[in-house]
Amino acid sequence: MGASMITFIVRRILLLLLTMILVSMAVFLITESSPGNVARNILGAFVTPEQEASFLAQLGLDKPAWQRYLYWLAGSDWKASRKVGMPLRRILTKKGFEEWWAVQPDGSLVRWKLDGDDLIAVLRKPDGSCVERKDNVRWKTNKKGVSTFWGLDNANHAVKWEKGADRKVWTFIMGSGWKETSGGPVEYIPLKKGFIRGDPGVSLRTGRPVANSLFLRLRNSLVLAGSAFVIVMPVALVLGLIAGLKEGSLRDRVLSIGGMMFSVIPEFATGIFLILIFGVWWGIVPGATVFGEKAPWERPDMLILPILTLTLIELGYVLRITRASMVEVMRAPYIRTAFLKGLPYWRIVVKHAVRNALMAPITVIMLHVNWLMGGIVIVEVVFGYPGLGKYLLDSAMYKDINALEAGAMILVTVAVGTQLIADIVYTFLNPRIRYS
């Protein structure tokens, strides 16, 4: 790999970082300006104003938009650490839950809770057990006689308690509804490390870390899109080259009309048609593909119809692009010159025509890798497939900004990365191409 290629790759990586920042800003602004209320989307239409305000405060959604974006990008633990006056540490429990703790000068971990007007320190032992003791010496009284304290609660917030405020707080517990308690904080900072440090935050819709949910959905989409890609691309390229070799022949017309037919039929119509035939009438394969937490390859029969749907859609489009490129190359002067020199037909096709004819399809294929990852939402919804596209659709319906931002960053990475791969492949198909 030459110095020019290395420079080109570095420039593309810098372009990727810039694109990710700009896209993240755009997604944040669009989500902010879109209609809907996060609290009512998640908790229902009958939530009271007090409950809504408490819910938004606990999630940090009462903060200004610029501050929330900064927290998502760079994290909030750095600011919370200054408020608390101690370093903060995130640990993973034996049960797989993430917990934030303050680190005392002796290295021990501590969090707090409020019991009436008493501040209770919860100390974590090395074995994971906890002990509690009163810690009222930490109250700080200002000139107005109000005692306050910044600490960490047991819900991964940096919080500000005010002595005697007795503020009510509502916590929504899945399956149980709202739980009202007293002694709530007057200010919250939800703790996160930020996207640039590998922490996209917690899903507002599910309450689970976005990274964990996104990994499962991304894995499912990779299996679906990768399987369709491996099947359709070689078949489409070969059929497109065959059609383009004999322009206007019966073979060309059959392949061209067939490709056009498959490419213009909507994805949902193709999916429903396949479900009706193979799932309902013939009963050969399942008509739905719900996996949950299990890997898709544990039930490969559920992948057949979604892969077949994507294959038929992509087959027609790539076939027609390849066919048009091959027709153009076969008309080129250098191909006619090769025929006039008496070179064998298949040598001309394989050595000269095919390599140049693949230039345009390579671009289309790389663009469609990104489409296969993010644009298969219709296929995933039709078949109930738990992939990235369906995850982002559900997140958009709830204005789940953390999930939307993380998903958008994955799609940007795929888009720029596939184009980089395409540019590198170009240099092998046509050695005259150089990047500087």
pLDDT, one tens digit per residue, over 211-269 is 888 888 888 888 888 888 888 888 888 888 888 887 888 888 888 888 888 777 887 88
Question: Is the C-alpha dihedral spanning 334, 339, 341, 343 positive or negative?
Answer: positive
Q: What's the mean pLDDT in 105-122?
A: 90
Q: What's the domain range around 86?
A: 75-197
Same domain, 261 and 333: yes
Instruction: Look at residue 83 and tell me whether its pLDDT is greater than 80.
Output: yes
Residue 48 placed within a domain: no
Query: Sorting pLDDT into bands at 50, 70 and 90, what band is 182?
Result: low
Domain CATH code at residue 352: 1.10.3720.10
Domain total for the chain?
2
Residue 65 placed within a domain: no
Instruction: Look at residue 154 and tell me whether its pLDDT is greater than 80.
Output: yes
* SS3 assignment, position 172: strand
Pairwise pLDDT comparison (252 vs 164), residue with the higher score: 252
Instruction: Look at residue 123 and tell me whether its pLDDT is greater than 90.
Output: yes
CA-to-CA separations, 9 to 16, 214, 361, 416, 417, in angstroms, rounded? 10, 27, 22, 11, 10
Same domain, 190 and 235: no
Question: Within a 13 Å sphere around the CA of 265, how many CA atoms are in the beta-carbon half?
Answer: 22
- Taking alpha carbons only, the member of 413, 423, 53 closest to residue 218 is 413
Residue 186 placed within a domain: yes
Given a contact cutoff of 8 angstroms between Cβ atoms, the answer to whether 365 and 225 are in contact is no
Same domain, 154 and 294: no
Residue 168 placed within a domain: yes
Residue 30 placed within a domain: no
Same domain, 186 and 300: no
Residue 57 placed within a domain: no
| Lowest mean pLDDT across 92-101, 284-293, 309-318, 404-413 | 284-293
Matching residue, tokens 């009706």: 276
Residue 333: φ, ψ to 5°: -60, -40
Encoding tokens for residue 36?
């809907």
Residue 155 placed within a domain: yes
Angstrom distance (rounded) from CA 258 to CA 74: 51
Same domain, 284 and 342: yes
Question: Within a 13 Å sphere around the CA of 389, how many CA atoms are in the beta-carbon half?
Answer: 20
Residue 330 placed within a domain: yes
Domain stop point among 171, 197, 223: 197
Per DSSP, what are the bridge partners of residue 153?
none
Same domain, 406 and 313: yes
Share of the chain above pLDDT 90, in %: 18
Same domain, 217 and 103: no
Same domain, 269 and 410: yes
- What pLDDT was estimated at residue 88? 95
Same domain, 379 and 239: yes
Rounded to a whole number of angstroms, the CA Rg of the chain reads 29
